[in-house]
Structures are given as C-alpha cells and as structure tokens.
C-alpha cells in the first residue's frame, strides 16, 4: 500500500512525508544531543564553521522545537526537490514520487540524519544545478545552463565546501553528450569561482577571521557521539540495504539498456553524480570517520526507487515490503533504548 501510494503521479503523495519526518524525529537519533547546540561547541569550532550556514545553525540552537521545525521543513524541501528533479528530467520510465518517500527513510537510518546540517542545506542548489543541466541536454547551446550550474555549485560550496568537487559531474555530462569544446568546460568553473570569491571576500571584509575554509571541512570534534546500534540492528540493516542495492543496480542497468539516446545521457549523468557523491562520502570518512548522511541518501533514494516501480504481480509483494522494512528499521534506530 505504501509503495503503491508513492508510485502514482499525484500531488497528494507528498502529504504523508511531513508526518513521516515527525514520526522519525525524536532527537534525530542522537539521544537529544545536537551538534548545532551552542553549548556543545567551543568558540573555535563556531568560528571555523561555514558562515553561510550560520543563520540555520543559530535557528537550530534556539530550542529543541526550533531544531525540529527547521529540520523538518528543510528535509521536506530537499525531498520534494529531489523528487521533482527526477520526474522533470524523466530519469525513470514513468513519473512517480518514490524518491520523496525513500529519502527521509534513508536519512533516518543514520545518526544526525534528519538534522539540517551544511551538506543538507547545500544540496538544494546542487539539485537546482543538476536540473538546469539535465533540461539542457540535447540543446545546441547550453552555455547559459553551464554557467548558471557553476554559480549554483559555488553557492552550494558556501554551505558545504566539498560540493565544489561536483563540477566533475558537469564535465562528465559534457564529455558524454557533446564534442570537446574548451569554452564549455571553462564556463562552470568561472561561475563557481566567481561565487566562491565573492562569498569569501564578503566574509573577509564584513567579519574577518570568521571563516577558515580548510578547518570548515571537519566535523565538530567535541560532540557527544550517539550510542552504538545493537548488533542485531546492524545485521538486519546490512541485509535489507544489500538486497535493495543489488535489486537497484540490476533494475537500473536494465532500464539504461532500454533507453533512447537522451534518456541514456541523463541516466549516465546521474551515475556520475552518484559516483561523485560516493567519493565525497569517502573523503568525509577519511577526514573525521563521519559521513554527512545526505551524501548517501540523495543518490541512494533516486537509485532505490528503480526496482520499486515494477507493478508486476511477482514483484508486488517484495516492492511493498521494502519501504515498510526501512520504516521499521528507522523507527528502531530512533525509538529503541
């Protein structure tokens, strides 16, 4: 029933998502501890954070209710944008709203997953940039989309600096869809550099010493880590996610093989995006042994929706069971203990 509801192309499919986020919120899986609490962070950690995320950080630190309201609103907005991106670009064989369901479920499986951290807020302009690029695929002149995409990636980098690496997604899309044109490769770099230079200059002029880009890559060090999950939970979670990942890879490969040229270009660009986000996750793990959950949940939700689209009778039971299994695991992670 849950899969069938989000498989349909109806605006009412979004209605359960805010309720789902409220159900999965309690403490965001941290035992009530938020690493955005001003009391939890020393002054140096506050100074070295990303300045364009600081207004959101201030709202989250006001009270638990403010953290709840802001995080739910931002998470729902990102889930909606992710869903619209996939449907407007025709990433799937037919329109659906499964990414809007899977995105918060995958986030809720990770500690701090539902909190509006810099990577979560910065994903908004990243999705906007991808939407501009995917809509321009097949056009003769896409220079405007490339420059605007670079501007948006620069804006995303002002919230979460590693997002600047996603410029390789624009380059990979160009390399896959068009003959080599050096000016087209330079345009997104110029746009991103202009935004980063302007943002850094404003911060340096208005509030000097409040942003150290290299230090802002690190997760705050003096944060109380959430308790370790039960061993049975880890086993069940690994089994469910492993089966879902295998089914998603097989289904996406079959869908890619049946695609026409434009669809193949967009789906190849999505694969480049997913691979780049995986590299960012590896980089974050190498730095601090912590990964911003949105780096895995965003491409994971888009990919995991593929096997759930099959309406055949033999796959109906399995497709209906997957979201319920993820929901039960997310509730276990949030409410157990």
Q: What is the pLDDT of residue 261?
A: 86
The domains of the chain are located at 2-25+33-335
What's the pLDDT score for residue 4?
84
97, 13 contact by CB (below 8 A): yes
The pTM (predicted TM-score) of the whole model is 0.90
Burial class (CB in 10 A: 0-12, 13-18, 19+), 214: exposed
What is the average per-residue pLDDT within 189-195? Answer: 95
Banded model confidence at residue 17, pLDDT cuts 50, 70, 90 = very high
Q: Residue 31: pLDDT above 60?
A: no
145 neighbors 80 (Cβ within 8 angstroms): no
Percent of the chain past pLDDT 90, that is, above it, reads 50
Higher pLDDT among residues 220 and 36, named by residue: 220
Place of tokens 């399995």: 318
Q: Which residue has the higher pLDDT, 228 or 152?
A: 152
DSSP letters for 183-239: HHHHHHHHHHHHHHHHHHHHHHHHSTTS--TTGGGSPPSS-PPPPPPPHHHHHHHHH
Range with lowest mean pLDDT among 29-33, 69-73, 82-86: 29-33
Which residues in 6-33 are b (16+ Cβ under 10 Å) and which e? bbeeeeebbeebeebbebbbebbbbeee
CB 91 within 8 A of CB 266: yes
Per the prediction, the chain carries an average pLDDT of 85
pLDDT of 133 reads: 93
Pick the more confident residue, 314 or 183.
183
C-alpha torsion 55→83→272→49, nearest 10: 10
Angstrom distances, CA of residue 184 to CA of 83, 140, 149, 218, 277: 28, 12, 12, 33, 23
Residues 6+ apart with CB under 8 A from 250: 307
Report pLDDT digits (tens) over 275-329. Answer: 999 999 999 999 888 899 999 999 999 999 999 887 654 545 777 888 899 999 9
Contact between residue 266 and residue 137 where contact means Cβ atoms under 8 Å apart: yes
What's the CA gap between 117 and 33, in Å, rounded?
A: 14
**In percent, how much of the chain has pLDDT > 70?**
86
Look up residue 40 and give its two tokens: 């939890």
DSSP code per residue over 260-308: -HHHHHHHHHHHHHHHHHHHHHHHHHHHHS---THHHHHHHHHHHHHHH
Least confident of 38-47, 230-239, 290-299: 38-47
């Amino acid at each position: 029933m849950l899969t069938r509801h989000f498989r349909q192309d109806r605006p009412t499919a979004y209605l359960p998502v805010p309720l789902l986020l409220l159900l999965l919120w309690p403490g965001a899986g941290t035992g009530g501890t938020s690493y955005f609490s001003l009391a939890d962070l020393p002054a140096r950690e506050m100074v070295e954070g990303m300045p364009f995320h600081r207004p959101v950080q201030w709202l989250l630190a006001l009270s638990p209710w403010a953290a709840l309201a802001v995080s739910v609103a931002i998470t729902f907005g990102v889930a909606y944008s992710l869903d619209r991106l996939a449907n407007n670009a025709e990433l799937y064989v037919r329109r659906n709203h499964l990414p809007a369901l899977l995105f918060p479920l995958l986030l809720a499986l990770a500690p701090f997953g539902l909190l509006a951290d810099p990577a979560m807020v910065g994903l908004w302009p990243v999705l906007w940039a991808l939407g501009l690029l995917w809509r321009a695929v097949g056009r003769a002149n896409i220079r405007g989309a490339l420059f605007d995409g670079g501007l948006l990636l620069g804006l995303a980098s002002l919230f979460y600096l590693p997002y600047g690496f996603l410029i390789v997604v624009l380059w990979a899309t160009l390399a896959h869809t068009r003959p080599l044109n050096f000016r087209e490769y330079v345009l997104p770099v110029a746009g991103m550099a202009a935004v980063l230079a302007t943002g850094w200059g404003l911060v340096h002029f208005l509030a000097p010493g409040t942003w150290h880009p290299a230090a802002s890559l690190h997760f705050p060090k003096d944060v109380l880590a959430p308790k370790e999950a039960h061993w049975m939970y880890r086993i069940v979670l690994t089994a469910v996610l492993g089966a879902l990942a295998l089914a998603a890879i097989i289904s996406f490969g079959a869908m890619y093989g049946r695609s026409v040229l434009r669809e193949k270009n967009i789906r190849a660009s999505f694969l480049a995006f997913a691979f780049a986000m995986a590299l960012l996750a590896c980089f974050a793990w190498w730095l601090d042994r912590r990964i911003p959950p949105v780096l895995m949940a965003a491409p994971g939700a888009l990919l995991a929706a593929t096997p759930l689209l099959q309406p055949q009778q033999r796959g109906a039971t399995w497709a209906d069971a997957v979201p319920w299994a993820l929901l039960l695991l997310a509730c276990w992670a949030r409410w157990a203990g």
